[in-house]
Amino acid sequence: MIISVKNKQLRHAIIYFIAVIILALSLKINFLIPSLDNAIHSFTTGIQNNLNDAIMTVFSFLGSPIVDIIYILILTGVLILANLRIPAIWSISTIILGYILNSFIRLIVARTRPVGHLLSDQGSSFPSSHVFGIFSVIFILFLVVIPNIESYQKRILISWGIILVGVMNIMSRMYFNANYFTDTVAAILLAYSWVILAGKLYPILAKYLISLPFFSHDEI
């Protein structure tokens, strides 16, 4: 199987999803979390200047939902060219269904965004859509691409590079008052949980599609 998930990863995914639920419930009852979020919010607003504005604008754009979809479309195209259409279908399905799940949770929690956010940032704040999307892409890459890179040095460089983009996206969302700290934490935990669950279900999808004539000669 091109995509495989270890039982340890699945256990972590379950724990992280439970943590997201606990965070969401804590927000509903205003338990401790607002104090932590407000403290970090005060810090990020205190470091705003023209240079940081430019840097954070770039990383916010690189982690925007539309750009995340473009990343996955590029990955899908590469996989199709490599005769890996089934992993390609899994990748695009995972990111789209993940956004639906994230939007559903945002609708239920309905957390108001921090004061001073950009007019372009609409809707509820928890979990962060930007952070969920970019980390979903990162975790998909860690399942599909990174393990298949032969060079250890290249694996390390690429891994740290995409993690850096993710971390800077987190910072940009707080910097522009688009999300609270806990919104970004929940988004990472949810992204990991979702991608790992989808990866665990991949063998079922692969075995079904490979039974169809159109996919009968595909790698899985």
pLDDT in tens, the chain (220 residues): 678 888 899 999 999 999 999 988 888 777 656 667 777 776 666 677 788 788 888 888 888 889 999 999 999 999 988 888 889 999 999 999 999 999 999 888 877 777 655 555 566 778 888 899 999 999 999 999 888 888 888 899 999 999 999 999 998 888 888 888 889 999 999 999 999 999 999 888 888 888 888 877 777 7
Q: What's the first-to-final CA gap in the chain, in angstroms?
A: 5
If you count DSSP H runs as helices and E runs as strands, how many of each does the chain have, helices first? 8, 0
Closest CA to 125 of 37, 19, 205: 37
| 110 torsion bin: left (phi>0), alpha (psi -120 to 50), beta (else) | left
Cis peptide, bond prior to residue 213, ω within 30 of zero = no
CA dihedral for 49, 55, 56, 61, sign (positive or negative): positive
pTM for this entry? 0.87
